Structure 1
Amino acid sequence: MYVVHNRIEVTAEQAAAFEETFTASMRATLNGVPGLRRSLLLRPAKAGGAYVSTMEFDSADDFRAWMRSDSFKAAHSDTQAPGMQAPSAIELFDVLEDFAA
């Protein structure tokens, strides 16, 4: 499994609009993406913390294919949407262990 984290720094003033816009975009653009197992939007537990968008793919190739897809283009087409101009940092991981209790 291949996991992608995107840490997104959203101001407190934009938080509610960001959450609404981002989750609507997830619902509209991610259904049926090949190799995508799950996508999460995590709200920071502490004020001022970064949001984290997490995507789990079957493989790095599936992630790269999504980055070239119409789904990706649609999800990132509104450059004026809340949070789209926010600083972000992408982190990429290969899953070493997946333990479910």
Structure 2
Amino acid sequence: MITVANRIYVKPEYHDAFEQRFRERAGMVDTMPGFVSNMVLRPVKDGEPFVVLTVWDSREAFDAWTQSDAFRQGHARSGTLPREAYSGPNVLEIHEVVTSTAPRAT
């Protein structure tokens, strides 16, 4: 399993529009083979990035998503913010999951 974190630096005056963009996303990733989950994390301190975090069964599943027509269509449909909305370049991080925990069923 892997996580993909896209750290996106958005100016404070564009935070609401950025969040709305994800609330209205096309959702095409949700049906991709190997997709596990998607979260959009809001920064709690000024100057820190939003983090769009996805979890995948494998690196191959993520790579297949980024090379798919659904990826291109989903990103085209989601709309974009103007260039001035961003305060820095995006940073993409991919990590392998070494260990993971969840609440135990009772």
Is TM (by shorter chain) over 0.5?
A: yes
How many residue pairs get aligned? The number is 100
Q: Which runs of 5+ in 2 are unaligned?
A: none
SS of corresponding position for 1:3: strand
Q: Which residue of the partner structure matches residue 35 of structure 1?
A: 34
- The correspondence of residues 38-53 of structure 1 with structure 2, limited to 5 A, is 38-53=37-52
Q: Which residue of the partner structure matches residue 60 of structure 2?
A: 61
**1:24, 1:98 → 2: CA distance?**
30
CA RMSD of aligned residues (A): 2.1
**1:31, 1:99 → 2: CA distance?**
22
TM-score (normalised: structure 2): 0.82
- Check whether the contact 1:5–1:91 (CA below 8 A) recurs between aligned residues: yes
Q: Which residue of the partner structure matches residue 23 of structure 1?
A: 23
Pairing 1:95–2:94 present = no
The one-letter code matched in structure 1 to 2:92 is: I
Q: Which runs of 5+ in 1 are unaligned?
A: none
**1:83, 1:20 → 2: CA distance?**
14
Bigger Cα Rg: 2
Q: Which residue of the partner structure matches residue 5 of structure 1?
A: 5
SS of corresponding position for 1:52: strand
